[in-house]
Every structure is written in C-alpha cells, then in structure tokens.
Chains A and B, each alone.
Chain A
Amino acid sequence: MAVLSQFNPPADLTELAADDLPGWSARVAQIFGRFTRSGDFPQFYDPTEVDTPDDRAVKKVAWTAFPARLTVDATSDRERWALADSDRQRQDEYCEWSVSRDANGRIRRVVFTSEVPEYWEYLFEADGDRLTELYGEMFGRSVTLDALAGPDGSYQRDNALNGSTAGGLAHLIQDTNNLGAAVALAATATILREDDGRPVTDQQHLVRCGQLGEPDRNSDPQIAAAVNDLAGQGADITLEDPMGLYIDGLLTGEMEAPGGEDAAEFWTIERGTQDRTLRASYEVPEGLGFTVSDIRIGGRPIEFGAQLADHVQVKLTAIASRLGSHSPERQPCVG
C-alpha cells in the first residue's frame, strides 16, 4: 500500500459526486493536520501524506454501544435503560439510537447510527439536494434545506428531525461523538505516560493521566489503551481509511423471538456494508404478527432501545506500521 490518494467517504459511500470527493478528503485532512503538523505527536501520521506499508498491523478496537457511564452510575437495569433511551446526549459511545413505537407503546423499530456529523455537514455544503433526499428517505417526509439549518444558516446537527430519541435519526449528535474527537483521541494517545516513575498502562488511569476523554466510557479508554500499546512498540500510527466509526454488528446470543425465529433476521444494515456499517435498524416485518417488544433478551421482553444497545458493538480500526522505528519517552501526567 502506498500513500493514500485521498480520504474516502465513510464506508466508501458512493453518494458524493466525483467533484465533491476531494472536498471531503480535505475536510478529513484538516482534522488530521491539527495533530500531524504540530510536531507534538511524531508517531501519528496522515496516510495521505505518509506511506502505509503492506506489512502494517491492523488493530480493531470494539466496544458496546450502551453508554458505560450509565452502567457505572445506575443501580438497576431498568434505571440505566430508561436513562439511555431518554436523551441522545447520554448516548456517548459513538453510537446513538432512536426508538419508534406503535399506538400501544410497543417498540416497532429501533435505528442505530454511527455516522459522524462532519460528513453530513459536508453534504449540506456540497450537495444540499442529496442531503434533503437522504433526510426524506430516513424520515419518510419531504425536508427542505432550511429546516436543517441553524440560525446562522449553517447545518444544524441536532435539528428538529435529528435531535430526538424517538421517531428516527440521521447521524451522531452527542457532543463528543464525532470524527474530530476520535482522531484527537487516537493522536493524543500516541504519547506514552508515566506516573510517579511507573508506566501508565491501565486504561482509565491512562485516560485521566493523558486527558484522553472520559475514563468511564467503553470507547475512549479502550481506544486510548490500544493506540498507546502500539505507540509503546515504537510504531507509526494512523486510523484506517475510510475514516469513521462503524457498527460492528448485533450480538443476538441471548435473544429469543416468540415463534423461535432467528432474532438476527430482524437486523438490517441501512447504510454502509457488512464490514463497515453506518446505520442499522431492528424491526420485525408487520406480517409476522409480533413486535420488537415481543422479543426477549436474557429472558426479559424488549421495553427499551437500550436493551438492544447492550448487544450492539461499535468499532474503530487503528493501523500500526514500522514497529520499532521510534523510541518514545514517557511523559508525566497532564491530568
């Protein structure tokens, strides 16, 4: 593999016109540039500027979509599920969901997304027609560009359609669920840390020591620790193109449908691919005569979208190459 010619759209989506692809690549390169041009992170590189050799190590980091912070603080399953379903700002594991219910309150459909808002902002600027078309497809109604803009005329991530936990969503909106945050985390995690003369490798400790996000999340500490471990081996590190956070599937191990159907059949990838899923839904076809709420997980009927989020996996892929090419020195904690 040589130097990457450009950053590709998340999951290699094909909806951008050829003329718009360089613009997206430039947008991602700008995010990388904040870290690669400062000289503060010598092990982190932009793959459109530096070669990634074929013998690279590919490190998938996967975690559960359900917000770990709620697991830590809640004292019962019902409490944490209800909290997670109540507010997209609580869904802080680079995956958010929205629940649609029928007139009886039964869950009809749950949609999950890991699409970064930067891409949608770019679509707003580059191809407004395609953006409104996408919203129209996702929400089943016609949408104007004005409805998606904030008071200053720019794209509003948490617009009236995309801000809710009910009725559908388009992409991530939680404050730290974005590509910039993920790249920042990967870049800053390349710095090795020591505390009181001892290497810092425990992941929450590392996050606190290096100010690498939120220590009680599933995602941040694990990404930080995986990258940091590679950095400790003297590697050059980047993230896999196409840049993005991806849904890594639904674990249906404890799921039981009422008629013995395979519970995995109701999971549908709506955007992206099997390997790089950006949006997926869980919905029982109407003809089967039951709803998502009739399916049990661990013996309990599904009352919350969060029960599914407990079983949804999210992933990010880091790339390490030229192991041993750096001899990094450990830095003291900054947090």
Chain B
Amino acid sequence: MAVQAVADESCAAFDGITSPLEPRAVHRFVVGEDAGPTPMSAEAATQELGDPVAALLFLRGRFPRTAAELVDQLRKVADGADPLQQHATFVLGEGSQVAFSDDTATVDRGLRFLIACGKPTEPDVIMSTPAPDAPFVELMAWDRKGGGFNFYRTVDGAWVFAGNSRAALVAPTEGKGPFDSHVTGNLLMKELRKPWIHWHSSAGHMIDTVFALDDPRRRHDWFTQRQGADVFEKTVARPSIRRWTEARFEASAGPPGRVMKQILDTSTVNLIASHTESRRALSAGDPVKLPQTFFVDSEALTEVLGLPAPPALSVEAQLYAAALARFEFTLRAAGGFSQPGDSRFAFIVPERAFEDRVALEQAIDRKLVTPRLAACLLMVDFANPVFSARRATLLSHLPEAADEDLSQALAEAILAASKEPAAGAAELEFATLWAAGDDWPKQFGALLNRYYATLPSRVASRTSFDDYVRLAESRRQRVRKMPIFENRLLFPETNITPENLEMRPDGTVVQGAQT
C-alpha cells in the first residue's frame, strides 16, 4: 500500500489523512519519523507495542471501531482477575452548561467521555471519545515493556499508533503529532484542580439537559454512571502524570537538561479559576475569591520549595460585575451562540502545569536540581508565574553536555553571563538571588511577602482590578495560541485589545516585552 504523505506536523496531522486505512491493522504514523500512516507488520507491532490494548486486542486480530466496543472487548479477553475488566467514565465539555434547546442545538459543546480501564489507582488504558459508538477514539495505553504511554487514535475507525511518551522528549518527534499538545508525553487534564471548570464534578454538576431528550448519550451508562472530575484527578490524572514522570527520570529518557524547559518556560499550562461561580457573585453579591496562582507560582514556590503562600485575595462582586460589563465578557460559539458573562467559574486563567510541578519535584528528589537553584530560577520574574519571557531566556545558558552536576553548571553559566557588559535582566536578577546563598528561604520569603502586601489594596481598587482583568485576558490570549485551545467556549471573549502584559513585583501591571 502506498504511503500517503502528510505535511502537517501538528496534532492536526491525523486530520490530513484522506486515503482509506486498513480497518484490520494498526498503522504507524509517528509524526517526525514517518511520512504518513503505514500498516504495521505483526512482527513490528509485537516489537514496538507493549501495551495491553495491543497485546490483548490488536495483536490478536481484534480491532474495535468505537470506544464502547473496545471496553467490551477488553472485558471479554482480559482474564477474570485482570483489572482491565473494570472501567470508570467521566464527562466534560467546554459547553457542558449550555442546556439543549432549539436555539442551542448547533452549539459545539465539545462534549466527550473519558474512560479509564484498569487498576483504579493506576489505569493502564485511558480513552476519549465524543460518544460511546463514535468511530473516533483517542487512546493512551501504558507500555508494560518499555514504559511510557503509547498514543493511538482512530481515523475513520482504523487504528493509528502515533508514538510513545518518550518521543515527546527527543527530536525529531518532539512537539509533533500528539506531542504538539502532550508536550512531555503526559496525560492532559487541562482543568486538573478544583473547580474543574468544564467537567462534571462535585464543584459543578453537569445537567442532564445538556443533551437533547432523544440523544442516546443521555441515557447511556457512561453518562448516568459518570464519576466526577475529582475522582479523575486523583485516580487517573495525577497518578498517570507521576507514573510517566518517574519512569522517564528512572530511564533517563530525553536529554538531562530537558527538565529545565519545564521549570523555566511555559510549554503547556493547566487552567484554574475562582472557586466562586460567576452567577453566584453577580446574583448574591458574594465576593469572588481569586485563584492564587494568578499572582504567584505557589504550586512550585510554596508547595515544593516551602516559601510563603500568598494571602487569600477576593474581589468585591460589584467590581467584578463592573469589569464584566466594561470589558463585555461573552461566551461565544460557532453558529451564532452568544451568552453575556464569564465562564461558569469566574476569572479563569492559566497556571503552571501539574506535569511541570511533578518534573520539578522529581528533579529535586533525584538531585538533578538543588532546591536553591530551583528557587533562584523560579524567583526570577516571580510575579509572572506563567509566560515569563525573562525567565525563559535563562534556558540559553543550559550547558550542552550537562550531566552529573546540572545545577552547578547552569548556575555558573548564568553567573558568568551576568558579569558580561551585555548581561540581560534575567541574568542580573538571578545573580542577585544567587547571592542570598543558604539564606535564600528567608530572603526570598521577604521578597514574596513584600509583593503580597501590595495585592489586597490593588484587588480592592477598580483601576488595579481592571488591570488584573486585562492581564488575565493577556494570558488567556497566549493559551488561545496553544494546541490545548480546542473549543471557543473554553474562555469568555472580551473587548480587550490583545496585548502582552506583565505583573511587576509592586503589584502593578505594565506592557511586557514583545514576543
């Protein structure tokens, strides 16, 4: 069979496959390595695919066309004690709070089911599909031979192997195909923490009326017996991310300095929002509690490195409501759907991705990075927890042959650069922070506390709060350009002109460097 070459190297590459594929074969299309999808021989598949879906189904000539068929077939072929017989279902969708009606019938709600099969503490198989009987499935299955997740998806019901997690970390596959969005080869749960903005969860019940009365999904077990995002977070997302991250460090997959990209740059994000519903604030006048990671990377600085946490910050409902009106917050979807206001939970913003936090923890635990170096790196431009162009410039000092003493080599390289006449702001800031020596917890704590002290009064002022709203929009704008932005309803839209804004350590917002 002739290989259809696909030029696109993003996660959309699979949408470019137009030639019919073999329904009874697994195709290999690892973007960056393969020009296009090719059926794998039994020998090649046996050698490369060590996951239970391949072992129990594909290599035995079973090729389910839908997620429901796959769950069913796994249950039939796995032996009685195999945890693959168990599955749990979860539901999410950016438009999951838009009730079905004649007016909203055409809204793309992005509804999808996630199904986890295997041990309830560490499922080996995780799928996403828009409907139990849809011929479109994205699948991750843990490779029991080589470690990491094998990524698959169907194209018109035919299976395509798109690479293993390891491919996310190295050329020529890094950043391509599924690793365009799964940048480190991890499971993606964008809204990983409470309030899990668009998921069915204990924070947000998904209404049955999101489906039309005659939509079979409404009565399907996967919907009626769905579990909440809280369960997915604790039994699927966090364990899976830890599993691959630990395996990756254990196997030294990817270059040693790769972790620095996760510490210093923002190649992916999680999304967080206030725990306060927008409509509750607007109706009852309750204050909106702002997500603390909007102000500082407390996941890394506080939870990992033990530095002081920011204060709890709330904005009065009146200020919040005025900002929504002034900036014309509106949820919009293709087809003309428009609903004035914010997302269900107010003030949705990006924060450090959990996979990057775990990578940082692992790097410290394995003594690849010292806590002092991590703190000095992360305190550079600390008021901008994500998308800090200044912090990211430090990556240019990453030693090419960094091995045993990455911390020392990187610190020395940055310190050397800071002494050059053309030293950049990041290098100079790092050098000042490094000079704190072993006193870094105290001195960095003081820096943070000084910053925190400026925030309560700014959140209470209309002008400053408006600046924070514009800064939040500026960060959302960055996410809109990332592959994880898949549905317009992910964020509210505003009349704010796109601009690159930054927070300063005095709590003010200014125009940032052009990127």
Residues of A within 8 A of B (CB): 57, 59-60, 62-64, 68, 71-77, 79, 195-196, 199-205, 207-209, 215-216, 218-219, 221-222, 225-226, 229-230, 232-233, 251-255, 263-264, 298-299, 310-311, 313, 333, 335
Contact = CB atoms under 8 A, between A and B. Distances in A.
B499 to A, nearest CB: 29
B277 interface: yes
B209 to A, nearest CB: 7
B394 to A, nearest CB: 26
B283 A64 contact: no
A200 to B, nearest CB: 8
Contacts of A63: 202, 228, 230
A313 B312 CA distance: 27
Contacts of A218: 202-203, 230
A205 B122 contact: no
B204 interface: yes
Nearest to B205: A225
Interface of B: 97, 99, 120-122, 194, 202-205, 207-209, 224-225, 227-228, 230-231, 234-236, 238-239, 242, 275-280, 283-284, 286, 289, 292, 298, 302-303, 309-312, 344, 361, 365
A202 B238 contact: no
Contact of B277 (A57, A76, A205): A205
A75 B311 contact: yes
Given A205-B277, A254-B238, A264-B121, A72 B344 contact: no
Given A63-B230, A216-B275, A253-B122, A202 B97 contact: yes
B224 A251 contact: no
Contact of A205 (B120, B242, B280, B289): B280
6 contacts: A71-B194, A199-B99, A218-B203, A251-B121, A251-B231, A254-B239
Contacts, number: 126
B280 A76 contact: no
Contact of B303 (A77, A208, A313): A77
A251 B99 contact: no
A215 B202 contact: no
A76 B309 contact: yes
Nearest to A263: B121
Contacts of A201: 97, 99, 207
B284 to A, nearest CB: 4
Lowest 8 A-B CB distances belong to which pairs? A225-B205, A75-B309, A63-B202, A253-B235, A76-B309, A208-B284, A204-B280, A204-B277
B90 to A, nearest CB: 12
A222 B202 contact: yes
Nearest to B194: A71
Contacts of B283: 195-196, 205, 208-209, 333
Nearest to B284: A208
A261 B280 CA distance: 45
A229 B231 contact: no
B224 A229 contact: no
A207 B276 CA distance: 12
A225 B289 CA distance: 22
B208 A208 contact: no
B280 A215 contact: yes
A254 B234 contact: yes
A280 to B, nearest CB: 16
B205 A215 contact: no
A68 B194 contact: yes
Nearest to A209: B283
Indicate the member of A73, A208, A209 with the most B CB atoms within 10 Å. Answer: A208
Nearest to A224: B205
Contacts of B122: 253
A75 B286 CA distance: 19
A82 to B, nearest CB: 13
Contacts of B207: 201, 225, 229
A167 B119 CA distance: 33
Contacts of A253: 120-122, 234-236, 238-239
Contacts of A254: 234, 238-239, 242
Contact of B227 (A62, A203, A252): A62
Contacts of B284: 205, 208-209, 335
B239 A203 contact: no
Contacts of B121: 251-253, 255, 263-264
Nearest to B310: A75
B209 A203 contact: no
Given A75-B311, A254-B238, A202 B303 contact: no
A201 B206 CA distance: 9
A154 to B, nearest CB: 35
A209 B194 CA distance: 22
A253 B194 CA distance: 17
A226 B194 contact: no
A204 B292 CA distance: 20
B455 to A, nearest CB: 12
A85 B302 CA distance: 21
A68 B193 CA distance: 12
B66 to A, nearest CB: 25
Given A221-B203, A230-B208, A253-B122, 17 more contacts: A72-B289, A74-B312, A75-B310, A75-B311, A202-B277, A202-B280, A204-B276, A208-B283, A209-B284, A221-B205, A222-B205, A225-B205, A229-B208, A229-B209, A251-B121, A253-B120, A254-B234
Indicate the member of B227, B231, B279, B303 with the most A CB atoms within 10 Å. Answer: B279
Contacts of B97: 201-202
B441 to A, nearest CB: 15
Nearest to A313: B231
B445 to A, nearest CB: 13
Contacts of B208: 229-230, 233
Contacts of A221: 203, 205
Nearest to B246: A299
A79 B309 contact: yes
A253 B228 CA distance: 15
Contacts of A233: 208-209
Contacts of A202: 97, 204, 277-280, 344
A62 B203 CA distance: 11
Contacts of A73: 289, 312
A64 B238 contact: no
A77 to B, nearest CB: 6
A252 B123 CA distance: 12
Contacts of A232: 209
B218 to A, nearest CB: 10
Nearest to A71: B194
Nearest to B339: A198
B234 A72 contact: no
A253 B289 CA distance: 29
B408 to A, nearest CB: 25
